[in-house]
Copies of this chain bind each other. A is one copy, B any other.
Amino acid sequence: MILITGASSGLGAQIAQRYAQQGKSLLLSGRDQQRLQQVKDNCLGKAATHVTDLAEAKSVSTLFDALPQPPELIIHCAGSGYFGPLTEQQPQQIVALINNNLLSATLVLQQAVKRYQDQAVTVVVVMSTAAQVAKAGESSYCAVKWGVRGLVESLRLELKYKPMKLVAVYPGGMATEFWQTSGKDIDLSNFMSAAEAAQMLVDALQHSARGFVSDITINRTE
């Protein structure tokens, strides 16, 4: 069983389809039931859906309650973008950005660790290259992504000697509808599709008897 958040579009939806093709059972979480249903329809009968507001602790707990057993893999893709110079941004949308990225990741990781830290569960946290470098015109977005990274790196220390593993993923330069709604005008023709990034990510999530790929950055070729 694999739990995927942010599964209703973009990278999350594409990852879901790949794992369905591998015959994995899926629980897909998203905010929009209609779009989740469309993704589910592409998942070969392997997926269930769960509408979740990841910025609400109770809603996150209910999502985890819906898992019939400990998942082998949790892929946290949920997130939203909001770009532009800080001076032109709206406080309410900054609050939404924080909730959709930092608060949601905190609540999802809290439930995952609380429930499964003593089991061999792998939690993949999909961030962005904006979690690794500073970017002009993306200051509030970098803020929330750096925040998630600080959370993940600290949780790794809390999980030392536990069987649970955290994998950090940093994609950059993907062309998803994420950008169309982001307020940033940008030529996407050289950007990776979400399908390309999903395929590379699923293939790069390697593990062996005593090791695993713990951090992956995916960039466009330019």
Asked if A186 CB lies within 8 Å of chain B CBs, one says no
Given contacts A160-B222, A211-B197, A214-B219, contact A154 B173 (CB under 8 A): no
Interface size counted on chain A using CB atoms at 8 A: 77
A28 within 8 A of B: no
Q: Mark A143-165, 1 if CB is under 8 A from B, else 0.
A: 11111111101111110110101
Most B CB within 10 A of own CB, among A89, A136, A211: A211
Chain B's nearest CB lies how many Å from the CB of A200?
4
A82 → B minimal CB distance (Å): 12
CB distance B134 to A153 under 8 Å? yes
Contact B220 A191, beta carbon cutoff 8 Å: no
Kindly report how many copies of this chain are found in the complex they form together: 4
Q: How far is the CB of A195 from chain B (nearest CB, A)?
A: 9
Answer yes or no: A106 CB below 8 A from chain B CBs.
yes
A106–B150 alpha-carbon span in the complex (Å): 17
A134, B150: Cβ atoms closer than 8 Å: yes
CA distance A209 to B218 in the complex (A): 13
Expressed in whole angstroms, the Cα–Cα distance for A156 and B134 within the complex equals 9
- Is residue A215 contacting chain B, with contact meaning CB distance below 8 A? yes
CB within 8 Å for A138 and B154 given contacts A95-B103, A213-B217 = yes
- Tell me whether A143 and B136 are in contact (CB under 8 A): no
User: Known: A86-B155, A98-B98, A143-B102. Is A173-B211 also a contact (CB below 8 A)?
Assistant: yes
User: Which of B85, B114, B148, B200 sits near A143, CB closer than 8 Å?
Assistant: B148
Interface string of A100-114 (1 = CB under 8 A from B): 001100110110011
Say which residue of B130, B143, B196 sits within 8 Å of A210 (CB atoms): B196
Q: Which residues on the B side are within 8 Å of A142 (C-beta)?
A: 150-151, 153-154
Residues of A113-138 whose CB lies within 8 A of B: 113-114, 117, 130-131, 134-138
**A91 beta carbon closer than 8 Å to chain B:** yes
